[in-house]
């Protein structure tokens, strides 16, 4: 049984707003190219099921994979964005330290200890790891794709692999990276594919020290 965890493609967001669950934030031209590349990578893998966060950027990314693999997309609310983003939505990353003093700094410095968070990083990891485990159990012996968001994928990945959540900002998945995991105690990560797109990728926000 194999699970391909896919982060959505780059979003059209020239003002660098925290978009969380705001409508109208679909993929950029680069994001669509990333999604098409991920779809091409996954096409020969024998994918039998695709599940995605209900948010537009994840659904749009999943649609590229669906078309390539000939498999419909199922929507899962438990794959959605980290809920703390709803607290910050509509604010630019640059303005976040002023709008919510100390919160971005806390997230960057000690993400597992955020008293202001509606959903803690351990809760996020448990939510996504639970969703992945449930879907794996529903598709024994199959190869499935799960499309979600950076922090949910990273927290779920660390939880499944029984790694410290303090490593949230280390080796984070980039846009349309494909992480290949296999069930076990703990789960094993057996692959990390990165799309190659013409031109340098613009910096992500927030800039995370040690991120990848």
CATH 3.40.50.1240 fits 2-193, yes or no: yes
pLDDT single digits (tens) 13-46: 999 999 999 999 999 999 999 999 999 999 999 9
Q: Is the torsion defined by CA of 7, 58, 3, 123 positive or negative?
A: positive
| Model confidence band, residue 72 (pLDDT cutoffs 50, 70, 90) | very high
Share above pLDDT 90 across residues of the chain, in percent, rounded to a whole number: 92
Q: Is the dihedral of CA 75, 79, 81, 83 positive or negative?
A: positive
Contact 35, 176 (CB under 8 A): yes
Q: How much is the mean pLDDT over the chain?
A: 94
Residue 67 has pLDDT above 50, yes or no: yes
User: What pLDDT was estimated at residue 206?
Assistant: 77
CA distances from 109 to 92, 168, 204 (A): 19, 10, 17
Per-residue pLDDT, 209: 39
Counting every residue written for the chain, the total comes to 212
The pLDDT of 51-64, averaged and rounded, is 98
What does the domain layout of the chain look like in residue ranges? 2-193
């Amino acid at each position: 049984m194999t699970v391909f965890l896919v982060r959505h493609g780059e979003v059209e967001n020239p003002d660098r707003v925290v978009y969380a669950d705001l409508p109208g934030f679909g993929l950029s031209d680069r994001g669509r190219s990333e999604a098409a590349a991920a779809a091409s990578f996954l096409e020969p893998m024998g994918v039998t099921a695709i599940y995605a966060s209900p948010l537009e950027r994840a659904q749009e990314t999943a649609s590229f994979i669906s078309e390539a693999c000939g498999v419909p997309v199922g929507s899962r609310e438990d794959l959605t964005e980290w809920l703390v983003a709803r607290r910050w939505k509509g604010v630019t990353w640059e303005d976040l330290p002023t709008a919510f003093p100390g919160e971005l700094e806390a997230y960057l410095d000690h993400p597992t200890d955020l008293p202001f968070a509606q959903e803690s990083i351990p809760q996020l990891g448990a939510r996504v790891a639970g969703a992945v485990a449930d879907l794996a159990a529903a598709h024994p012996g199959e190869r499935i794709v799960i499309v979600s968001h950076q922090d949910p994928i990273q927290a779920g990945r660390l939880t499944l692999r029984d790694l410290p959540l303090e490593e949230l900002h280390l080796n984070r998945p980039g846009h349309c990276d494909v992480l290949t995991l296999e069930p076990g105690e703990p789960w094993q990560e057996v692959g990390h594919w990165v799309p190659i797109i013409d031109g340098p990728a613009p910096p992500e926000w927030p800039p995370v020290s040690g991120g990848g």
